[in-house]
Chain A
Amino acid sequence: MLHFLIIAPLLFSIFTPILYQNIKRIHTGWMVLLIPISIFVYLLSYLPKIVDHPFHLTFNWLPSLGINYDLYVDGLSILFGLLISGIGSLVVLYSIFYLHKTEKLGHFYTYLLIFMTAMLGIVFSDNVFVFYVFWELTSLSSFLLIGFWNYREKSRYGALKSMLITVLGGLAMFAGFVWMSILTDTSSIREMIENSELITNSPYFIAILILILTGAFTKSAQFPFHIWLPDAMEAPTPVSAYLHSATMVKAGIYLVARLSLIFAGTDEFFIIVSSIGLLTLCWGSYMAVKQTDLKGILAYSTISQLGMIMAMLGFGTGVAVFAAIFHILNHATFKGSLFMVAGIVDHETGTRDIRRLGGLYTLMPITATLAIFGVFSMAGVPLPIFNGFLSKEMFFDATVDLSEEAGTIYQSIGPFIPFIALLGSIFTFVYSMILFFKTFTGKIQLDKLERKPHDPPFGMLLSPIVLVTLIVVIALFPGPFNHYLLTPATSAVMGEVSQTHIKFWHGFYNLPLFMSLTVLVVGIILFLTREKWVRVYNRIPGSWSMNKGYDYILDGLIKGSKLVTTSYMTGSLKNYVRMIIGFMTVVGLYTFIKTDGWAFTFNGATLSIPEIAIAVTMMIAAISVLFISNRIAGILVLGVVGYGLSLLFVFYSAPDLALTQLIVETVTVSLFLLAFYHLPKLKEEKESKTNNFINLVISVSFGIFITLVGLSSHSSKWFDSISSYFVETSYTLGGGNNIVNVILVDMRGLDTMFEISVLGVAALGILALINYKKKGDVE
């Protein structure tokens, strides 16, 4: 059943264009809405079972390769599955009111449903290769969704950028998977975890870790791969809300969480994941303050929150992992609602620029109220109705606890981490405040807006209302969520069942609370005085940002490859022939020397003076052709070589060959004459001395090489030749005395047939060329 449910959106996506084409009266979204809702309800039914008993489902796909459509259902995958289908339903609902019927809805919902399948596939897959298939499917469908308004230049730029970066990571991850599956001889994640010491103890461990983490970091927009996320904001807002806050960007988080049973506990994992996570946290929140676009702020905020979750997964302690899981849930709720609010503001005012917005509270009270919950939850304001506060508090708790963990690495780095976390959180607070107060308070600038804003229709508000309700419900009654979702998920990541009690009030005299208060106080001060210090952004990042780096690399790649290609693709045939012959000579001679092919014997070779004379004649003729400038003279001298060859055939008693050679030589000479008559009088090209010298070296060495090969192959006869068979059976089997002809038409008739076809094709080709020239008005 679950197998079917995962691909159900994909199957349904086939019908969305048909529905869109044929049922014009109803918004296509209403029909699509059924799919995520039914998946959500079905997944909910798993919840009571899953608390203690994860289970495994399998469906044969490529059993001979050990790659099967295996699913594993445990707390972690069910948490993500519920997020995907739940927020998916809300996003579809929101998009019904957000996107007008005149948009290409058939495309939109097709892409969205493909994405849903891909995301569900990722979180339930137990097989790494199936996982990878779904992973790339998310990259692809995300590419399509970001570029949904493909007539915009920026959409296309953002789509390409996200595609390049996420696919780069995806391929790195695939390499890691292949390596892991070779080491453990299985492609099942479960079995890899059981044999994790094979991976952690192997000498390639660091390489595998880095490859896998590259995949996770690119997908989850971690530093320095975060640059695609702000540009992905060109997508329609429902897409941003769904993909770039709640689901796809958490795929990397999911990957790290899923594999942390293999990697966690090693110092490398702790160092890389925590440091990158903390760096992303600080950089994202720092950069978010600078943004003036609502979705830009939200994008950098997503980056920073993902960094925070990643850092906690890197810590790997019980409380940190629990906080990470909790924050995944919380972030999905408040960030989803905030994106939807931003979409509403955009929809109602026609702009998302906070410099043009302000004072919307009186005009859009409901939207503003919804925004309050999202923003304050994101900032971690210490009030019991914001779930963000609870997980933020746990985050501080985890950072503080870190220095008490055993292990020198924790001891040495641990004490600094709370300060870094504090720094990131202060900026989080500042941009959250900017997001809210610049939009909804202050003076309204009606002249700068396209229309007078007011609250949107109820349907558009419905989804953010549900999410905001969740924010409050999770904050006030965390118990059931803890029992059914968070604890099973944590135990899936940690491998052991651990109970953590979520409570709002830890009592006085605990460090996390003071940290929260510090954030509050410093944040307010910074927010109020931001005009004074905002100039710091001209210094850092100033002119060097990761985006510039990306553009530089992309530009450099294109320019560099152009340079490389033009350096050898000169368009001159002379050059190509030189390269081919030169390469053949070098490789051939190298092989010759390497394999010690100097086996020259001259047994049974006799030479008569006439043969020598003929050979010398041919040689003189061939060499003199090079120095003849008169074309016709050149052809005639070349004719001497041909006739000489036919005479050699006579000497070596091959009458048929001699016959054919004579005719062919005569025809060739006539053809040359024919062709030369039509050649235009070209200006004589003078080769430079160096070029001539290179040509000489190449041709002489190639000649020597071929001579050596000929001598060597003549000298080493490994087997008797089969010609005696033809001599004996030519008459008895073939009924002819002319052995050559019997071989040509009887013993090996097939070759002859195809050579006849070659001649036929050549004749037809010549005919076509001549006729083409006649018709097509030659320039």
Chain B
Amino acid sequence: MNIFSTILTGSIILSLLVLSVSVLLLLYRTIKGPTNPDRAIALDSIGINLIAMAALIAIQLKTTYFNDIILLIGILAFIGTIAIAKFIEKGVIIENDRD
């Protein structure tokens, strides 16, 4: 094991730790968050953090299988945030045009 791989492993773990702390702090915002938009943004950020963590783990495990997940979390976090935002704004997610 050369020095670079040691650095790589160490930085992965360090990054994961930092991200975990970040998730914990975001959780505090989700629970505490005085308004629902606060919570929505916190949840969205948790999603982004998940992308990062998944990517780190993929590097750690030396696999490409998690790439799908990274993309999916991106899409879902986006859709989820849009849905929540729409819900908070209008109270409905899917509008019925014919009404």
CB pair B27 A653 closer than 8 Å = no
Q: Contacts of B91 on A, CB cut-off 8 Å? A: 677
Q: Contacts of A651 on B, CB cut-off 8 Å? A: 57
CB pair A655 B36 closer than 8 Å = no
Q: Contacts of A630 on B, CB cut-off 8 Å? A: 36
CB pair A673 B87 closer than 8 Å = yes
Interface residue ranges of A647-672 to B (CB < 8 Å):
647, 650-651, 653, 655, 658-659, 662-663, 666, 669-670
Chain B interface size range: 35 or more
Bound: A630/B33 CA distance, A: 11
Q: How far is the CB of A742 from the nearest CB of chain B, in Å?
A: 15
Chain A residue with minimal CB distance to B77?
A666
* Any A CB within 8 A of the CB of B8: no
Interface residue ranges of B15-60 to A (CB < 8 Å):
16-17, 19-21, 23-24, 27, 30-31, 33, 36, 39-40, 43, 46-47, 50, 53-54, 57
CB pair B87 A655 closer than 8 Å = no
Chain B residue with minimal CB distance to A630?
B36
Interface residue ranges of A320-356 to B (CB < 8 Å):
none
* Any A CB within 8 A of the CB of B68: yes
Q: Contacts of B84 on A, CB cut-off 8 Å? A: 636, 669, 673
Bound: A609/B53 CA distance, A: 13
Interface residue ranges of A568-618 to B (CB < 8 Å):
608-610, 613-614, 616-617
Bound: A617/B49 CA distance, A: 13
Q: Contacts of B73 on A, CB cut-off 8 Å? A: 662
Query: Which residue of B47, B69, B93 contacts A658 across the interface (Cβ within 8 Å)?
Result: B69
CB pair A610 B92 closer than 8 Å = no
* Any B CB within 8 A of the CB of A643: yes
* Any A CB within 8 A of the CB of B3: no
Chain A residue with minimal CB distance to B63?
A653
Chain B residue with minimal CB distance to A669?
B80
* Any B CB within 8 A of the CB of A628: yes
Query: Which residue of A617, A624, A633, A670 contacts B80 across the interface (Cβ within 8 Å)?
Result: A670
* Any B CB within 8 A of the CB of A674: yes
CB pair B33 A633 closer than 8 Å = yes
Q: How far is the CB of A77 from the nearest CB of chain B, in Å?
A: 82
Bound: A433/B76 CA distance, A: 100
- Interface flags, A728-748, vs B, CB<8A=1, else 0: 000000000000000000000
Query: Which residue of B40, B72, B93 contacts A670 across the interface (Cβ within 8 Å)?
Result: B93
Bound: A124/B92 CA distance, A: 80
CB pair B72 A662 closer than 8 Å = yes
CB pair A636 B43 closer than 8 Å = yes
Chain A residue with minimal CB distance to B31?
A624
Q: Contacts of B4 on A, CB cut-off 8 Å? A: none
What count of chain A residues pass the 8 Å CB interface test? Answer: 35
Q: How far is the CB of A244 from the nearest CB of chain B, in Å?
A: 74
CB pair B39 A610 closer than 8 Å = no
Q: Main secondary structure on chain A at its contact with chain B?
A: helix
Bound: A628/B36 CA distance, A: 12
Q: How far is the CB of A303 from the nearest CB of chain B, in Å?
A: 78
Q: Contacts of B33 on A, CB cut-off 8 Å? A: 633
Chain B residue with minimal CB distance to A614?
B20
* Any B CB within 8 A of the CB of A639: yes
Q: Contacts of B76 on A, CB cut-off 8 Å? A: 662-663, 666
CB pair B36 A636 closer than 8 Å = yes
CB pair A613 B24 closer than 8 Å = yes
Bound: A609/B16 CA distance, A: 9
Bound: A636/B42 CA distance, A: 9
* Any B CB within 8 A of the CB of A125: no
Q: Contacts of A146 on B, CB cut-off 8 Å? A: none
* Any B CB within 8 A of the CB of A620: yes
- Interface flags, B69-89, vs A, CB<8A=1, else 0: 100110010011001100110
- Known A643-B50, A659-B72, A677-B87: A610·B27 in contact at CB below 8 Å: no
CB pair B53 A637 closer than 8 Å = no
* Any B CB within 8 A of the CB of A632: yes
Bound: A633/B30 CA distance, A: 8
CB pair B31 A621 closer than 8 Å = yes
Chain A residue with minimal CB distance to B28?
A620
Q: How far is the CB of A202 from the nearest CB of chain B, in Å?
A: 72
Q: How far is the CB of B47 from the nearest CB of chain A, in Å?
A: 7
- Known A647-B54, A663-B72: A613·B21 in contact at CB below 8 Å: yes
Chain B residue with minimal CB distance to A613?
B20
Chain A residue with minimal CB distance to B24?
A617
CB pair B53 A650 closer than 8 Å = yes
- Known A637-B30, A662-B76: A674·B93 in contact at CB below 8 Å: yes
Interface residue ranges of A191-233 to B (CB < 8 Å):
none
Bound: A617/B19 CA distance, A: 12
Bound: A639/B24 CA distance, A: 14
Q: Contacts of A673 on B, CB cut-off 8 Å? A: 83-84, 87, 93
Chain A residue with minimal CB distance to B65?
A655
Q: How far is the CB of B57 from the nearest CB of chain A, in Å?
A: 5
Query: Which residue of B31, B53, B83, B93 contacts A628 across the interface (Cβ within 8 Å)?
Result: B31
Bound: A610/B65 CA distance, A: 20
Q: Contacts of B69 on A, CB cut-off 8 Å? A: 646, 650, 655, 658-659, 662
CB pair B27 A640 closer than 8 Å = yes
- Known A650-B66, A677-B92: A614·B23 in contact at CB below 8 Å: yes
The winner among B40, B57, B69, B94 for most chain A CB atoms within 10 A is: B69
- Known A639-B43, A643-B46: A617·B27 in contact at CB below 8 Å: yes
Query: Which residue of B20, B39, B57, B80 contacts A650 across the interface (Cβ within 8 Å)?
Result: B57
Q: How far is the CB of B35 from the nearest CB of chain A, in Å?
A: 9
The winner among B16, B23, B36 for most chain A CB atoms within 10 A is: B23
Q: Contacts of A614 on B, CB cut-off 8 Å? A: 20, 23
Q: How far is the CB of A652 from the nearest CB of chain B, in Å?
A: 10
* Any A CB within 8 A of the CB of B7: no
Bound: A620/B46 CA distance, A: 15
Query: Which residue of A643, A655, A666, A677 contacts B79 across the interface (Cβ within 8 Å)?
Result: A666
Q: Contacts of A633 on B, CB cut-off 8 Å? A: 30-31, 33, 36, 39
Q: How far is the CB of B67 from the nearest CB of chain A, in Å?
A: 9
Q: How far is the CB of A367 from the nearest CB of chain B, in Å?
A: 87
Q: How far is the CB of B24 from the nearest CB of chain A, in Å?
A: 6
Chain B residue with minimal CB distance to A651?
B57
CB pair A643 B47 closer than 8 Å = yes
Contacts A647-B50, A650-B54, A655-B69 aside, 16 further interface pairs with beta carbons under 8 A come to A608-B13, A617-B24, A620-B31, A628-B31, A632-B39, A632-B88, A636-B36, A639-B80, A640-B30, A643-B47, A658-B69, A662-B69, A662-B72, A662-B76, A663-B72, A677-B92
Q: List 18 A-B contacts (CB under 8 A).
A: A609-B13, A609-B16, A610-B17, A617-B20, A617-B23, A632-B87, A633-B31, A636-B84, A643-B43, A647-B54, A650-B69, A662-B72, A662-B76, A666-B76, A670-B80, A673-B93, A677-B87, A677-B92
5 smallest CB-CB distances across A and B, nearest first, come from A613-B20, A610-B16, A655-B65, A636-B39, A624-B31
